[in-house]
Amino acid sequence: MIKLRKGTYLEQTLVKKLCTEKQYSNYCNKNTFNGGKDKSGFLDKLSQYCDYEYDPEEKKYTILSVHDIPKTIYESRLHKGIYQFLAPLILHEIVNNHDHNNKATVTALDLALKIKMINPNYNHLKFDQEAASTDMEIPIYILAEYFNKADNRIDDYMRRCIKYLLSFNCIIGNEVHIIETSERQTVLDGDTVLITKRKNRHRADDEEMKLYSRLVDRASKFAGIHTHQEKWYGKKAKKYQKKLDELLQQHGIEYVCRGFELWYVDMKKCKKLLDEFSDISLNERTFALGEVFKVLMDENSKKQAAQRGLDNTYIEHFQNLSSITVLKDAENVRPKLKSAKTNQEHLIDRAKSFNVDYKVLKDAEID
């Protein structure tokens, strides 16, 4: 039985109380942890038993309060790091924006926008990187790398946070693939083509996933892709992504991405868990989430620059992009993208010799 009391302790004292004999011996040999994983495990366990403050210079922990019942490891993780801001905002979204079946279907990026983990500038720049590169003088490879890394980080944090929330049995959920398809109809009127477009986003069914897997295979072979990593980083990535996008468009598919189907099980339990985060407002957590996510992205850019021998320009562009796309109060970047094409201009490019009138029909306008 582990017993802790309020007070100040040396790190080594708490390691002896909470860790195995082997872990304690390894710690004593170096007077520190073997690595980040060992320290993270120690902090997770400490959080299960108490709330604390840490003095890194003295390597001392002040235990502020001891839990009557030890928390689960997932419960302790929800109240640490980025998850202490992410979890309540996700819970709030599930509680307040589910459908009549208690269900919410979202992509990681949808959810990130809804809870303001990223701001609207994110999609403006991500989906028109050529204009961003031209108008903001950011190398195109840095833009591509930034959004690949940011997308992956968002997806990873969302999946981990949802996993932690599932352990409370207040929500259940599945990871799914979400597909957006579009149907275009054309009507010829003299030398003018009227193009109407209706989008449909839904959970991909088995047939759609079979088609998607075939298209991924074709794009991979075309670009010489052998690993998942190569799809997003390196010299082959752009060739792969361009080919896959071309193949998807040929089949009326806008995109395929991972997402989540979430149901709440017990609304009272959801609200009770949400109350545990009531020490600061959701609006304050929204601001903090953006700031914490920016710090994590900026730290990663510094590590990448050091590992790859890149100069400060790489770091400066990354930090600029994180300020523009992540912080809640960032200035709207759209007016600066002078060379960005409108949807109509994109369709005119495709139509080549036709004069094109373009509009997106509302459901009420479609038979």
pLDDT tens for the chain, 367 residues long, are 688 999 999 999 999 999 999 999 999 998 899 888 888 889 989 988 998 999 988 889 999 999 888 888 888 888 888 999 999 998 888 777 666 667 777 788 888 998 999 999 999 999 889 899 999 999 998 998 899 899 989 989 998 998 888 888 888 888 888 888 876 656 565 666 565 556 787 888 999 999 999 999 999 999 999 988 788 767 788 899 889 989 998 898 888 888 888 887 878 888 888 898 988 999 999 999 999 999 999 999 999 899 889 889 999 999 999 999 999 989 999 988 888 766 555 544 444 333 334 333 434 343 3
Same structural domain for residues 208 and 269? yes
Same structural domain for residues 93 and 200? yes
Q: Is residue 78 part of a domain?
A: no
Give CA–CA dist 86/201, Å, rounded. 25
- Count: domains in the chain: 2
**Helix locations, 251-360, DSSP H:** 267-275, 282-308, 312-326, 343-351
Instruction: Give residue 30's domain range.
Output: 7-71
Same structural domain for residues 52 and 121? no
Q: Is residue 50 part of a domain?
A: yes
Same structural domain for residues 196 and 99? yes
DSSP 3-state assignment of 99? coil
Q: Is residue 240 part of a domain?
A: yes
pTM summary value: 0.72
Q: Is residue 260 part of a domain?
A: yes
Q: Is residue 2 part of a domain?
A: no
Same structural domain for residues 101 and 246? yes
Same structural domain for residues 318 and 347? yes
Last residue of a domain, one of 71, 97, 116: 71
Last residue of a domain, one of 71, 103, 119: 71
Last residue of a domain, one of 20, 45, 71: 71
Give CA–CA dist 78/89, Å, rounded. 12
Same structural domain for residues 39 and 132? no
Which residues does 19 contact at the CB level (< 8 Å), separation at least 6? Answer: 27, 42, 45
Same structural domain for residues 167 and 57? no
Same structural domain for residues 344 and 311? yes
Residue 216 has φ and ψ, to the nearest 5°, of -60, -40
Same structural domain for residues 115 and 253? yes
Give CA–CA dist 29/185, Å, rounded. 72
Same structural domain for residues 65 and 197? no
Q: Is residue 77 part of a domain?
A: no
Q: Is residue 76 part of a domain?
A: no
Same structural domain for residues 13 and 92? no
Which residues does 192 contact at the CB level (< 8 Å), separation at least 6? Answer: 354, 355, 356, 357
